[in-house]
Each structure stands twice: as C-alpha cells, then as structure tokens.
Amino acid sequence: MKFTSLNLTDIRGVREHIMGMRNIVAQLKKLEGIQNLRKPVRNE
C-alpha cells in the first residue's frame, strides 16, 4: 500500500483528487477488515 500526499492544485484536478482519496479510503477499509479477522474471539 502506498501513501502519498495529495494536493489539490486546480479546479480540473478536483475529480482526480476525490478519486484518489476514495481509493485510499477503500484500501484502509480493506486493511481494517483483514485486521478484524485476525483478532482473537473471546467467549464471555
């Protein structure tokens, strides 16, 4: 997974900026799901 700083440079770049941010969010959600699978289950 690659993290970079995304800067909004002009109005034409708005769509690309939003798509890049959505891609990062999707990757983080996927990573969070994988980490949740690794958590031990407690029987209370």
pLDDT in tens, 16-41: 888 888 999 899 888 888 777 766 66
Which is nearest to 1 in space by CA: 19, 28, 20? 28
Q: For position 36, what pLDDT does the model report?
A: 74
* Residue 38, token pair as written in the block: 């690794």
Given a contact cutoff of 8 angstroms between Cβ atoms, the answer to whether 3 and 17 are in contact is no
Q: What is the pTM of this model?
A: 0.54
Single-letter residue type at 10: D
CA distances from 24 to 20, 40, 44 (A): 6, 27, 36
Q: For position 1, what pLDDT does the model report?
A: 47
Which is nearest to 17 in space by CA: 29, 5, 2? 5
Which is nearest to 6 in space by CA: 29, 27, 23? 23
